[in-house]
Structure 1
Amino acid sequence: MELISPTVIIILGCVALLILIKWKNLREPPCIRGWIPWIGAGFEFGKAPLEFVEKARIKYGPIFTVFAMGIRMTFVTEEEGVNVFLKSKDVDFELAVQNPVYRTASIPKNIFLKLHEKLYIVMKGKMGAFNLYQFTEQLSEGLHGQLENLGAHGTMDLNNLVRHLLYPVTVNALFKKGLFPTNEKKIKEFHQHFQVYDEGFEYASQIPEYLLRNWSKSKRWLLAFLEKNIPEIKTHKSTKDNSMTLMQALLDIIEMESDKRNGPKYGLLLLWASLTNAVSNYTVPPGDLLMLSPFWLHRNPKYFPEPELFKPERWKKAKLDKYAFLDYFLAFGSGKYQCPGRWLALLEIQICIILIFYKYDCSLLDPVPKQSSLHSVGVQQPEEQCRMVFNQRK
């Protein structure tokens, strides 16, 4: 009898432990683990992340976890995702991006956490909506000069063309506003923080391609805009009222999928779950990456009716004159660390688009390339080049 009692106690303890583990797992989101240790669902997820996410959402619901390459990624979609990313105090962006920053720029965790918020506040203040007027003339003059250097005619990859135009002008403008450090030792540290603004260039490099591919749809409003604003263009000036129509069109292009056959264009936004109660009705372990897909959110007809149609007029509801996007538009991130240069990036895109089409007759020489399906973060890049032929207008 004495021997039986300890055995029974051990058995009961094991049963209780199994029940506890099972109960704990029931409170966690459904998990896609794959069958290979550590790798998990990595191969399948890596082939086409956005397609994988949508299939999983349909099968498991709006909240689910993917285990891949030793990392747990908990996806939160639709209202659940937006509320977590915009309102929860139990998520941390800095912890989510610290490891990638260290791997790409060798910035130690302590230095990154010390500098990131300070640099963000500086950039947000100097590149904010109410300081845009300080950049308009300088950007216009700079882009005029860049276009003059292109000559009367030529051929160039469209993605490279936009980067060639925008990068020098932007860097020069930000140096003059004191946003770039002059100390070489600090440049490397600052460069990674500047990546949050780089997203604007990614969008800019894609938009002219859409306009040219859909010229029959877009030329009416674009040419009307150019005709109305020729005086401002010639004098390197712009006004909020005159730029609103183009702003609406650009945001609609960013929001929508340019061409269904080219695949998705926008990747995944990620944050860090620092506490277990970030997601309602579930226990998300500390350290999980919380993931949200702006692409699928922008495809949701509940928030964006007829999302695949080019409808700039939908943005009239956005109160752009007060620098407010539509609800659930997350192309530039959101929450505490929303892209600080979003309005400056959009201003640059407007000026660049206006001047390209004002100065040149343009046409695509190559078929429109498919977008790479391997990008899980940021804007999808084309798989191949897309050359544009440009001839100076007479």
Structure 2
Amino acid sequence: MEFISPTVIIILGCVAVLLFLQWKNLRRPPCIRGWIPWIGAGFEFGKTPLEFIEKARIKYGPVFTVIVMGTRMTFVTEEEGINVFLKSKEVNFELAVQNPIYHTASIAKNIFLKLHEKLYITVKGKMGILNLYKFTGQLTEELQEQLQNLGTHGTTDLNKFMRHLLYPVTVNILFKKGLFPTDERKIREFHQHFQAYDEGFEYGSQLPECLLRNWSKSKKWLLALFEKNIPDIKTYKSAKDNSLTVMQAVLDLLEMEANEQKSPNYGLLLLWASLSNTVPVAFWTFAFVLSHPNIHRTIMEGISSVFGTAGKDKIKVSEDDLKKLPLIKWCILETIRLRAPGVITRKVLKPVKILNYTVPSGDLLMLSPFWLHRNPKYFPEPDLFKPERWKEANLEKHAFLDCFMAFGSGKYQCPGRWLALLEIQICIILIFYYYDCSLLDPLPKQSSLHLVGVQQPEGRCRIQFKQRK
């Protein structure tokens, strides 16, 4: 009987250990595959994606993969995964969003990758902290102009109220004064098409356009609107200081890069980015404030102390005035925390190690600000509306609370975040200064149907307003 020598046993043992270590190193996160090839867990995931993410986290742990429509999406929910998402050089933002950009704005991937960084720097420069002072007066004037159309009193859906107020203000400031229609029929047409485009944006970013007939129709209508108006936007001159609008700066860059033919497409992208989140954030902020009488009362006292007794006199809002009313900004940020986007994403370029798992290249690495903001480790009493928690943020130095991810993260944070905050601050001041407002319905729940952008309300929420005397 032959015996295996000790040397062979040692060699075989070493090989076994190496194979085990290699297996352990290549161990992938738990995977939810579904039972239909390619579609994967798409049907279950698509019903209520936000709830799906949280149930999967509870069942599978802090790192898990979901296969949806042929795409591997790996979710990270705790520190180590979050750090990889934020800091690893092996994950990439641009490659993660190039497909959705192509589907929703018809911008070819090669053009997007070539121009994205330059366009980002241009837009960030126009709407950054150093240039905010240029917008304060414009926003105040535009908002007052729209408020004059409200009349002395009324009752309406709060979401509709915010759309009618902020659509024209945002369009006229970012593109050119007077671009937004004033004819009632054309206003309704704009609302109809933008809302259809916005509500179907998430599906449009993933599915063939031929399957989304109404959404495609609205997308083409909006592109045609820009095609028609690009020449006027190019030649527009501000009556005050001749400064370029944001869209004019974008057009100048596109002309330099010989991509003028894509001007309407980038116009559509800028339109969606500027309206899709600002309006629902304004809606939720008003709804939260009016649902908390003590906060509403404190805000009203602050407005009166800065601008005098609320009434019909025209007021000017300055940067110094805003600094005297920090509670308003805290309320907006607390609203964004509670109604943050369902996911933000990166593409994995090379395998990355998270906990005991290896996430393979090609996966989309997903982080959910919505659920991260509800983690009591980072935000105590996370389900409560507590604006005072923002006292701890160094907002004077433009820093948010740790683990606040609503505007994205890293190199490509939302370039319009400071302008959006400014617009909503001024909006709140002016409405509460001129009108006595109250909610007629309970605070609605947020919809759990979408992952892209701020959560929309589920059900109606009416507001009653009456002009102050």
After TM superposition, is the score higher than 0.5? yes
Structure 1 residues 178, 278: closer, same or farther in 2, change over 3 A? farther
Provide the C-alpha distance between the structure 1 equivalents of 2:353 and 2:247, rounded to a whole number of angstroms: 36
Matches within 5 A, 1:199-210: 199-210=277-288
- 111-120 or 376-385, which deviates more: 376-385
Which residue is 1:32 aligned to? Answer: 32
Provide the C-alpha distance between the structure 1 equivalents of 2:91 and 2:26, rounded to a whole number of angstroms: 22
Q: How big is the shift at 1:354?
A: 1.2
Matches within 5 A, 1:47-126: 47-126=47-126
TM-score of the two chains, using structure 2 as the length reference: 0.73
Provide the C-alpha distance between the structure 1 equivalents of 2:28 and 2:159, rounded to a whole number of angstroms: 43
Which residue is 1:314 aligned to? Answer: 389
Provide the C-alpha distance between the structure 2 equivalents of 1:381 and 1:163, rounded to a whole number of angstroms: 13
Give yes or no for contact 1:372–1:383 (8 Å, CA) kept in 2.
Answer: yes
Q: How big is the shift at 1:184?
A: 7.8
Partner secondary structure for residue 352 of structure 1: helix
Give yes or no for contact 1:141–1:236 (8 Å, CA) kept in 2.
Answer: no
Which residue is 2:336 aligned to? Answer: 254
In structure 2, list runs of 5 or more residues that go unmatched. 1-15, 176-237, 239-243, 252-259
Provide the C-alpha distance between the structure 2 equivalents of 1:39 and 1:25, rounded to a whole number of angstroms: 28
Partner secondary structure for residue 388 of structure 1: strand
Give yes or no for contact 1:91–1:278 (8 Å, CA) kept in 2.
Answer: no
- 128-137 or 155-164, which deviates more: 155-164
Provide the C-alpha distance between the structure 1 equivalents of 2:91 and 2:280, rounded to a whole number of angstroms: 26
Matches within 5 A, 1:292-331: 292-331=367-406
Partner secondary structure for residue 445 of structure 2: coil
Which residue is 1:354 aligned to? Answer: 429
Structure 1 residues 194, 122: closer, same or farther in 2, change over 3 A? farther
Task: Could you list the structure 1 runs, at least 4 aligned residues long, displaced by more than 3 angstroms after superposition.
Answer: 22-26, 181-185, 193-198, 278-281, 365-370
Q: Match for 1:205: what amino acid?
A: F
Which residue is 1:155 aligned to? Answer: 155
TM-score of the two chains, using structure 1 as the length reference: 0.86
Give yes or no for contact 2:284–2:335 (8 Å, CA) kept in 1.
Answer: no
Q: How big is the shift at 1:342?
A: 0.7
Q: Match for 1:178: what amino acid?
A: T
Matched, 1:376 2:458: no
Structure 1 residues 324, 197: closer, same or farther in 2, change over 3 A? farther
Which residue is 2:268 aligned to? Answer: 191
Which residue is 2:439 aligned to? Answer: 364
Provide, for residues 359-391 of structure 1, a one-character-per-residue CA deviation record: whole Å limited to 9, x for no partner: 111223345443322101211212333232211
Q: How big is the shift at 1:160?
A: 2.1
Matched, 1:272 2:354: no
Provide the C-alpha distance between the structure 2 equivalents of 1:266 and 1:277, rounded to a whole number of angstroms: 24
Provide the C-alpha distance between the structure 1 equivalents of 2:465 and 2:265, rounded to a whole number of angstroms: 36
Structure 1 residues 60, 226: closer, same or farther in 2, change over 3 A? same
Provide the C-alpha distance between the structure 2 equivalents of 1:63 and 1:323, rounded to a whole number of angstroms: 31
Provide, for residues 271-290 of structure 1, a one-character-per-residue CA deviation record: whole Å limited to 9, x for no partner: 21121126454322222111
Which residue is 1:243 aligned to? Answer: 325
Q: Match for 1:335: what amino acid?
A: G
Give yes or no for contact 1:197–1:340 (8 Å, CA) kept in 2.
Answer: no
Q: How big is the shift at 1:188?
A: 1.8
Partner secondary structure for residue 180 of structure 1: helix
Partner secondary structure for residue 66 of structure 2: strand
Which residue is 2:129 aligned to? Answer: 129
Structure 1 residues 25, 89: closer, same or farther in 2, change over 3 A? closer
Q: Match for 2:269: what amino acid?
A: Q
- 280-289 or 58-67, which deviates more: 280-289
Provide, for residues 129-175 of structure 1, a one-character-per-residue CA deviation record: whole Å limited to 9, x for no partner: 12211111110111111101111112322112212222222222223
Which residue is 1:224 aligned to? Answer: 301
Structure 1 residues 93, 206: closer, same or farther in 2, change over 3 A? same
Q: Match for 1:328: what amino acid?
A: C
Give yes or no for contact 1:267–1:377 (8 Å, CA) kept in 2.
Answer: yes
Provide, for residues 89-126 of structure 1, a one-character-per-residue CA deviation record: whole Å limited to 9, x for no partner: 11111111111111112111111112221111011111
Give yes or no for contact 2:170–2:274 (8 Å, CA) kept in 1.
Answer: no
Give yes or no for contact 2:81–2:355 (8 Å, CA) kept in 1.
Answer: no
Give yes or no for contact 1:33–1:66 (8 Å, CA) kept in 2.
Answer: yes
Matched, 1:178 2:255: no
Provide the C-alpha distance between the structure 2 equivalents of 1:207 and 1:77, rounded to a whole number of angstroms: 26
Partner secondary structure for residue 283 of structure 1: strand
Q: Match for 2:302: what amino acid?
A: F
Provide the C-alpha distance between the structure 2 equivalents of 1:275 and 1:228, rounded to a whole number of angstroms: 56
Provide the C-alpha distance between the structure 1 equivalents of 2:332 and 2:315, rounded to a whole number of angstroms: 22
Structure 1 residues 185, 93: closer, same or farther in 2, change over 3 A? closer
Percent identity over the alignment?
62
Give yes or no for contact 1:298–1:304 (8 Å, CA) kept in 2.
Answer: yes
Which residue is 1:12 aligned to? Answer: none
Provide, for residues 37-72 of structure 1, a one-character-per-residue CA deviation record: whole Å limited to 9, x for no partner: 222211211111111111111121111101122111
Structure 1 residues 356, 143: closer, same or farther in 2, change over 3 A? same
Provide the C-alpha distance between the structure 2 equivalents of 1:35 and 1:203, rounded to a whole number of angstroms: 38
Give yes or no for contact 2:137–2:318 (8 Å, CA) kept in 1.
Answer: yes
Provide the C-alpha distance between the structure 2 equivalents of 1:206 and 1:303, rounded to a whole number of angstroms: 22
Which residue is 1:3 aligned to? Answer: none
Give yes or no for contact 1:318–1:324 (8 Å, CA) kept in 2.
Answer: yes
Provide the C-alpha distance between the structure 2 equivalents of 1:107 and 1:245, rounded to a whole number of angstroms: 40
